[in-house]
Amino acid sequence: MGKPTKQRRKGQVAAKATGPSGAGMALVKNNPFEVKINKQKFNILGRRTKHDVGLPGVSRSKAVKKRTQTLLKEYKEREKSSVFKDKRFGEYNTKISPEEKMMKRFSLERQQTHEKKSIYNLNEDEELTHYGQSLADIEKLNDVIDSDSDNEERGILSAELTAAHFGGGGGLLRRKALIGEEDEEEEKPKSRKELIEELIAKSKQEKRERQTQRENALELTEKLDTDWKEIQTLLSHKTPKSERKDKEEEKPKPDEYDMIVRELGFEMKAQPSDRMKTEEELAKEEQERLQKLEADRLRRMHGKDEQENKKKPKHMSADDLADGFILDKDDRCLLSYKGGKLNVGNEEEEGGNEEEEGESEEESEGEPGREDEEEAIVEEDDATDSPSDLESDMGSEEEVTANEEQKKKHKGNEKKLQSEEEENAKIEAARSELPYTFTVPESYEKLKSLLFGRIIEEQLVILERIQKCNHPSLAVGNKAKLEKLFGFLLEYIGDLATVEPPELRTIDKLVLPLYSLCQMFPEAASNSVKFVLQDAAHEMEEMIEVKGRATFPGLDMLIYLKITAILFPTSDFWHPVVTPALVYMSQLLTKCQVMTLQDVIKGLFVCCLFLEYVSLSQRFIPELINFLVGMLHIAIPQKRLQSYTPVHPFKPAGKNSKLLLVCDKKDMETWQKQNLPLSIMTRLKESSKTEMNHFRLSCLAVCLDLIKKCAALYKSLSSFHEIMQPIRALLTEHIPVSEYPKQLQELHQNALKEIEDKGKHYTPLVCEKKKPVPLKLYTPKIVKVLEFGRKQGGSKEEQERKRLIHKHKREFKGAVREIRKDNQFLARMQLSEIMERDSDRKRKVKNLFNSLATQEGEWKAMKRKKFKN
């Protein structure tokens, strides 16, 4: 029973293998009762019919077939990276039409086939084709006989074919052998010598043909020239003048447009200008210029002559042909007649003779005794020629020559002295000049030794030359050196501020090189200024811890705050340098007590800096308003603290509560408005009582001016009147305005007017907390009823939304169903792969066991034989 069941199972497996998707499906006959037919009730135009005849298993077999073509293919190629790409021209370019693609592909193919084999073979001809066939083969008229054409000789066998198939093969083979030998003789390759000889013969033949063509062309041109000369005499007929004038008059005058066009044509065209040089090129040129000037200065300082540095003439050998000789001057002699005789000479020689004659005349004029002596000698020579006379003449000549030599020596000594004095003057002038090249000072002491004690202009020149000679683009370490120079220069400015008296003009001029260095190295500059601010803040904190109160800093720190506003932008919301500076200034106004007039001046200076910092951003500074209230508080005689309260560091009453109070009417009458310079702080101790009162009134005038500027700046704030209420109360109720001079009264009125002036206040835009309630509308609500008995949505948008939701659900379910079927299909494929691998492994194991069993049997048989033997 076991065997038939095994066969039956095998048959079932075979039937499954030849199921709907296999080849056995063609043998199965469909049952007509299993065919499902969906009848269509009525035809509708424009609608695709879904009522098809469905066979059992057909749709499933289609789906499996489609998955095997797509999903199974992707599954099998999941680990493969090779991709076929169509690299034909324009295959993926949709902008090119198919005709253009075909034409371009054909032209590219022609280019590949017709490339020259040798670039030096000029006689190589290009092969012409027609529909892919060579024109040379077409001209041979080797037409191929078409098998479909109706020809009389159709069906007739050739002699060669009959001999090959029906006997006579030996004769045909002999004939073929003879034909092959002839072809070999014809197609025998030529040697190199023969090819070169053929090439030479062809080139000579072409040369002869070109020569003959050239000669024929020359003959024809000569003949044409002779014929033209004969005809030209007939054509040269001049028209009379009257006709020519008529033609000229008939010519139209040029239009204004034509004249402008001609003028534009003759105008000068723009010449190309030189390109703009880069910053590195300009720095290099400036460095070379300064180095050249410095070398010239050193040469003059050492007393070297310019002619020594000039290039000496090069040595010329005897074999030199002097190819580069240029005649600078005309050395030809001039011919002239003078006194009936031929005179040959140069203008320069004549000029030289004239100069010599002039010198001799001057010498004769300067020595009248000498002329008389010469005249006496001449007269004696003319009168007598005795030996004694000759001896006397010789003695007088020796005396004259000796005098001349002494005079020449004296003149030479004078000239030497003058030249030495001039050289010494040049050397001193060169030493007094500033050097043109400088190295960057490595320490603050070196910078101070370079700048201190010099005038402002020289200091600026030194700093400028340091920057030009050590530009960052000229060397690698120049950037770090110039970054240190910024810190040294900042420290030097601080030292100038602490000198008695402070050199404020020099500081004002030194801000320019400081600004240029800040622009070149902004990060290093910001770090240096932040370090200064940090030190000042630490000093203030230490002073508060030790003494319990802080004092205003020195003039150097105030100048640093002023320089910060020049070097860095103050309108930023947050800045790494300006923001700490603002915090430090606010601490100065709140923590530093006002003890003397110097503190008052420093506080007012900080207030001016605050207004400069916030002029663009219009940031509100409460410390500024409180300090101005305190300034007005210490200027009133009677303290009534009903409408205002002074804030620290000011006290309601005490020793320093009347620093700005002036009681002397004479001093008030003699006061005149003037600016308060920073250098005044060093002179307050040595000033008289009248000067002190004048300083107090000037401080009060500055305070009123600051109040006016603050009112103009913060006028747009919504709480402006609440902020300025204490200042208004002090100005209207407490300050004795009637006792002050007229200029102070005017300032008081202007400040009060600016405070009481009502500017335009704009409330900020704010979103409403609740949505406004709409008005009730009485229009009827219309709802479309599409299907009776079924409730529909209220509006069209709601119906569309429901339709889309329903469509989304349907598509989602279909997508999930298809994904589930794809996963099942892939699982079946994976299972079949695993089963196939397992069966293959079992087969191999079985074969291995069988081979081992046979080996074991053979081994045992051999062992038995040995045992028997």
Q: What is the mean pLDDT of residues 647-660?
A: 81
Of the candidates 752, 755, 760, 700, the one whose C-alpha atom is nearest the C-alpha of residue 724 is: 755
Give CA–CA dist 208/202, Å, rounded.
10
The residues spanned by each domain of the chain are: 563-757
Pairwise CA distance, residues 45 & 775, whole Å: 49
- Name the more confident of 3 and 290: 290
Average pLDDT, the chain: 76
Query: Mean per-residue pLDDT for 485-495?
Result: 93
Q: How confident is the model at residue 240 (pLDDT cuts 50, 70, 90)?
A: low
78-125 residue pLDDT tens: 877 776 778 888 888 888 888 888 888 888 887 776 665 555 555 555
Residue that wins the pLDDT comparison between 87 and 416: 87
- What are the φ/ψ torsions at residue 192 (nearest 5 degrees)? -65, -40
Give the other-Cβ count within 10 Å of 441's Cβ. 19
- Dist. CA 730–CA 253, nearest whole Å: 90
H/E element, 334? strand 334-338
Q: What is the residue-wise DSSP string for 731-748?
A: IIIIS-GGGS-HHHHHHH
512-552 pLDDT, tens digit each: 999 999 999 999 999 999 999 999 999 999 999 998 889 99
Q: φ and ψ at 515, to 5 degrees?
A: -65, -40
DSSP designation for 770: S
Residue 626 has a pLDDT of 92
> Does residue 156 register a pLDDT over 70?
no
Under the banding of pLDDT at 50, 70 and 90, the label for residue 722 is: confident
Burial status of residue 624 (CB atoms within 10 A of its CB: 0-12, 13-18, 19 or more): buried
When comparing pLDDT for 778 and 147, which is higher? 778
pLDDT given at position 332: 59
- Who wins on pLDDT, 842 or 377? 842
Side-chain-side CA neighbours of 74 within 13 Å: the count stands at: 7
Question: Which of these, 520, 437, 454, 458, lies nearest to 485 by C-alpha position?
Answer: 520
Which letter does DSSP use for residue 37 in this model? E
Query: Which one of 35-39, 412-416, 765-769, 836-840 scores highest in mean pLDDT?
Result: 836-840
Percent of the chain with pLDDT over 90: 28
pLDDT at 696 exceeding the cut of 50: yes
Q: What is the pLDDT of residue 383?
A: 40
Taking the C-alpha atoms of residue 472 and residue 480, their distance in angstroms, rounded to an integer, is 9
Q: How far apart are CA 673 and CA 705, in angstroms?
A: 12
**Listed ranges 356-360, 592-596, 607-611; the one with the highest mean pLDDT:** 607-611
Residue 765 confidence class, pLDDT cut points 50, 70, 90: confident
First-to-last C-alpha distance (Å) of the chain: 48
User: What band does 487 get if pLDDT is binned at 50, 70 and 90?
Assistant: very high
Of 744, 673, 754, 666, nearest to 709 by C-alpha is: 754
pLDDT at 70 over 80: yes
- Mean pLDDT score, 496-517: 91
Res. 362: pLDDT tops 50: no
3 residue type, one letter: K
pLDDT at 368 over 50: no
Confidence band, pLDDT 50/70/90 cuts, at residue 274: confident
Higher pLDDT, 849 or 359: 849
pLDDT of residue 817: 94
Q: Indicate whether this model's pTM tops 0.85.
A: no
730 secondary structure, DSSP code: I
What is the percent of the chain where pLDDT is above 70? 66
- State the average pLDDT over residues 836-847: 95
CA distances 763 to 16, 289, 717, 769, 828, Å, are: 87, 63, 10, 17, 75
pLDDT of residue 494: 92
pLDDT tens track for 421-453: 777 777 777 677 788 888 999 999 999 998 988
pLDDT in tens, 46-63: 666 665 555 555 566 778
Q: What is the pLDDT of residues 215-226, one digit of tens each?
A: 999 999 988 888
Q: Calculate the alpha carbon distances from 138 to 135, 148, 839 in Å.
A: 5, 21, 65
pLDDT of residue 226: 85
C-alpha distance from residue 445 to each of 310, 448, 502, 569 (Å): 41, 5, 19, 31
Identify the pLDDT of residue 189.
75
Kindly report whether the peptide bond that precedes residue 501 is cis, defined as omega within 30 degrees of 0: yes
Band (588; pLDDT cuts 50, 70, 90): very high
The two beta strands, 53-54 and 129-130, are unpaired
Q: Does residue 467 have a pLDDT over 70?
A: yes
Task: Between 519 and 242, name the one with better pLDDT.
Answer: 519
Residue 330 has pLDDT above 60, yes or no: no
pLDDT score at 810: 93
Q: Are 283 and 473 in contact (CB under 8 A)?
A: yes
Report pLDDT for 165: 52
Q: What is the pLDDT of residues 166-190, one digit of tens each?
A: 554 444 445 555 555 555 555 567 7
Residue in 596, 745, 744 with CA at minimum distance from that of residue 674: 744
Give residue 6's pLDDT band: very low, low, confident or very high (50, 70, 90).
very low
CA–CA gap between residue 477 and residue 471 (Å, rounded): 10
Q: For the segment 852-867, what is each residue's pLDDT rounded down to a tens digit?
A: 999 999 998 988 888 8
d(CA 726, CA 640): 12
- Which tops the pLDDT comparison, 178 or 693? 693
Contacts of 707 (CB under 8 A, 6+ apart): 628, 727, 731, 751, 754, 755
426 or 386: which leads in pLDDT? 426
Q: What is the pLDDT of residue 118?
A: 55
Residue 485 has pLDDT above 90, yes or no: yes
pLDDT at 374: 39
> What separation in angstroms does the CA of 643 have from each of 449, 625, 631, 634, 727?
58, 15, 16, 15, 10
Between these two residues, 319 and 752, which has the higher pLDDT value? 752
Average the pLDDT over 6-27 and give the result: 39
Torsion sign across C-alpha atoms 670, 671, 677, 678: positive
